[in-house]
Each structure stands twice: as C-alpha cells, then as structure tokens.
Amino acid sequence: MIGFGNVGKRLIHLLSDEHPDHPRLADLHCKFTGIFTKHHGYTQNSNGIDLFGIEKNFEKLNSNIPDEKILQAISNLEYDMLVELSELSIEQKGEPAISFVKAALQRSKHVVTANKGPAAFAYREINELALKNNCRFLCESAVMDGTPVFSLARSGLLGTEIKAVSGILNTTTNFVLSKLESGSSFSEAIQFAQKLGFAEADPSYDLDGWDASAKTAVLANILMDGTITPFDVWRTGIIDLNNEMIANAARNKNRFKLICRAEKSGTNISAKVAPELLPYDHPFASVNGTDSILKIETDLMGPIFIRQENPTLNDTAYGVLNDLLTIAMESN
C-alpha cells in the first residue's frame, strides 16, 4: 500500500479490528507486505505486517520518503496487488502516482487506487498496460467516494454506449453552496468544511473546480473511452458566486450547483465544469451538503442516476475494498 492517510487507516481497520462486525467479509483474508508513505515513514514485512496497533511498526515515522524509494519497493517487493492511496497532483499531471501504477502493472501486479490522477491523466495507456500484462487497474473510489459507478457500468450497462455523464461530484463546493444559501459567508462556509475534515487547508483545488475537472476526466476516460486530461475540461469554479446571487436564485426557486458534464459525439468528448442554475424540482437540486449525484445517458435506455448521501471515510475505504474483492473474485 502507498499512502497511509485517513482512507488507508479506515481500510486497515475494516480488515483488522472491525473485520468480525461484517459477516460478508468473513472469507476475506488480506496480508499487507509493505506500506510506504510520502511523509510518515514506512513499514514492511514479507510475512505480513501486524495490522493491530499498526503505527508502532512504522520506521522513520516523521520522515519524508523519496519517490524513488517508493518506486523501488513497488518494483522489488513481493505482493499480488498494489493499493495506491497517494494524493492527486494536478501540477505534476498525476505523478508520481502514474509511475507507481505503471511499475506495478509492468510486473503483472493488479492495481487499485483511490487517486484520480492515473485515470485522469493516463487511463488509456494504463489500461492497455494492464490488459497486456493480464491484470487489473481499478479506481472505484476516484469518483463519488466508493459509490459503485464503475462497477455499475461494468456489469449493469453491458452492450450500451455511454453518450453523456453529468452530475455533482465535488463535496466541498456543494457543501459551501448549501451554506451560502443558508446565509453563511464564503469564509465561514469554508472554515466549517475544513473543521468537518473534507476541505483541504488550501481549498482552491475544490473552489476553482480542479477536483471536479479531474473527476470529469476520469469518468470520460473510463466510461466513454476518452483520452482527455483535467486541462481539457472547460472549467469555471464557484468563487464568482455570492450570497446575493444565491438569495436571488432562491426567490425564484432556483439553486446554483457546480455541475460536471462530459458528452461524446463520434469519438470526440467535450467536458465542462461550471456553476449552473437549476430549478428546485431538478433531480440535482435536492443534492445538498456533502451529497453527490451522477446521471448516465446511454444509447439503449433512459437516463439513470446514482446518488450518494452523507459520505464518510467509510465510503472511500469501501470503494477500495470493492475493487480488491472484484479482483479477488475474478482471480478465483
């Protein structure tokens, strides 16, 4: 596993002390042979790291670990599957995660990631590498925190061509817009989101629409066979909105939402993230606070929507777990 932040810790808890609470996980037995972090050291044990009280096993707990050392571990340690939980970097165009993923796939190791970077910047290349090496690259948690989006498409939309996706995919901006509507100022709303733990210390990734653009690129690349990056998404954030605009909209029973859209025409994909004014009875309008929603349009049926309510770290960790179980099931 690369990274040991909140999602990694939740995953370890699910697989150790909380394991007996979940009857359908009884047959699942995982062994972790190495956990490497960027800023908090590493731990490795080819016989399996003790997951109970795992922190005490870490070496160099307060040290930065260079990417080269992590890459070396990915290239040399023994394991079946890489669980990649590092953070997205837009500036570095998805690196170093993309290199981590490729190094594992080149060794025919399956890869599961919650990081949007690899699929947002290099999905086609990565997926072709996975196919060539007879292994899997999955990233259910990259969009909608583990709500089954990609697994839904893999098994529930067989034979369809996905023509368009749209939705509300960024928690922080949706939460901030809901707070602005109830009278908070921009800075109060952001502080509240930071206190609740889902907004970053620098919230501009969210407010400027970068997170939403990365998710839109992931959806376009995986679901619509695209080769776009977040830089190809026509992007407007929410910072030009204010309380007065939002109050005016409310008087007319309308609500601003930051909407992600990707549409396919021939082999061309156009993608956009921007605030849109929606009437209260629009299926997206009741998606408030930290909720999210995705609409999928295909050539064979009417539009379907998948929606998530009150996501927590549990959901993101579960998305990783579902990918892991998918691979385990296919390998049996």
Told to check if 285 binds its own copies by CB under 8 A, we report yes
Told to check if 315 binds its own copies by CB under 8 A, we report yes
Told to check if 16 binds its own copies by CB under 8 A, we report no
Told to check if 154 binds its own copies by CB under 8 A, we report yes
Task: Tell me the sheet residues that pair with 274.
Answer: 259
Give the one residue of 52, 56, 62, 159 binding its own copies; rule: CB under 8 A: 159
Told to check if 318 binds its own copies by CB under 8 A, we report yes
Told to check if 134 binds its own copies by CB under 8 A, we report no
Told to check if 222 binds its own copies by CB under 8 A, we report no
- Phi and psi at residue 217, in whole multiples of 5°? -65, -40
Provide the CB-side half-sphere exposure for 232 (13 A, CA): 19
* 81 within 8 A of 87, measured Cβ to Cβ: no
Longest dimension (CA), the chain: 63
- d(Cα 81, Cα 327) in Å, to the nearest integer? 9
With contacts defined by CB under 8 A, name the span among 50-58, 66-74, 140-148, 188-196 that binds its own copies. 140-148
Which of residues 226 and 237 has its CB atom nearest to its own copies in the complex?
A: 226
Give the one residue of 20, 23, 197, 266 binding its own copies; rule: CB under 8 A: 23
Binding-site string for its own copies from residue 25 to residue 64, where x marks contact by CB under 8 A and - marks none: x--x------------------------------------
How many of the other CB atoms lie within 10 Å of CB of 176? 26
SS3 259: strand
SS3 89: coil
Q: Helix 210-223 crosses helix 117-132 at what angle (to 10 degrees)? A: 20
Q: Applying CB under 8 A, which residues contact its own copies?
A: 14, 21-25, 28, 140, 146-148, 151-152, 154-161, 280-283, 285-286, 288, 299-312, 314-315, 318, 321-322, 325-326, 329
